[in-house]
Amino acid sequence: MDAVETIVIFTKGTVHGAYIIDLQRRNDERGYFARMWCDKEFGEQGLMAQVRQINTGFSHSAGTLRGMHFQRAPHQEVKVVRCLRGAVFDVIVDLRSESPTHRQWMGVDLTAENGRMLYVPEGCAHGYLTLHAGTELMYLTSALYVADAASGVRYDDPAFAIAWPGMVNVISDADRGWANYFL
C-alpha cells in the first residue's frame, strides 16, 4: 500500500463550535487504519487538543437515553464522542447565552460502522439515544469529572424540542429528574 498521510476531517456542526469528525480510512485486504486523535490537527482547527480523561459507556437495550449532561463552570468540559459498538443518535444542546446558536440543538448518528465522532464544545449539554442493543461509546474529555459540577437539562424539554428518532424505553431517575431549562 502506498504511504498516505492519514488525516482527521472536520465539518462544522449547526451548533456553534460543534464539529462532526470523520476519519479518513486507509483500507487494504486486512481492513482499515485511521487516525482518531491528533492534538496538532485538533489545535490547527482551534479546538481543544488536551485530553484529561477517557470514559466509556455501555447500554444493554435499544431506546436507552443518557443525558442531557454538562458540567457547570469552572469545570466545563469539551467532549469528543465516538460509538465503538452499535449505534446512537447523539445530541448537543447549546446552553451558552452568548452563543449565536443559544438553545439550538443538533443530532448526529454515530455508529460503529461509520466511525464518526462528535466534538461537543464547553457550555453545551450532551446526550444520546441508543438505536441498537449492546451499544458502547467512548468519550474523550478536556477536564476531569467533578461530581459537584455535574448538571443536566431534560431530554424532552419543550425549550429545545429535540426530535429523538425513537422511543425512550430506558432512562435513569437522575436523567428523568433534570429540570426544564430556563432563560
Rg (CA), the chain: 16
Residues with a catalytic annotation lie at 69, 139
State CA 105 to chain mean position distance.
Answer: 12
Q: What are phi and psi of 83, to 5 degrees?
A: -90, 120
Adjacent-strand bridge partners of 126: 69, 92
Q: In sequence order, what DSSP letters do the residues of 44-89 get, joined into one string? A: HTT------EEEEEEESSTTEEEEEEEE-TTS---EEEEEEESEEE
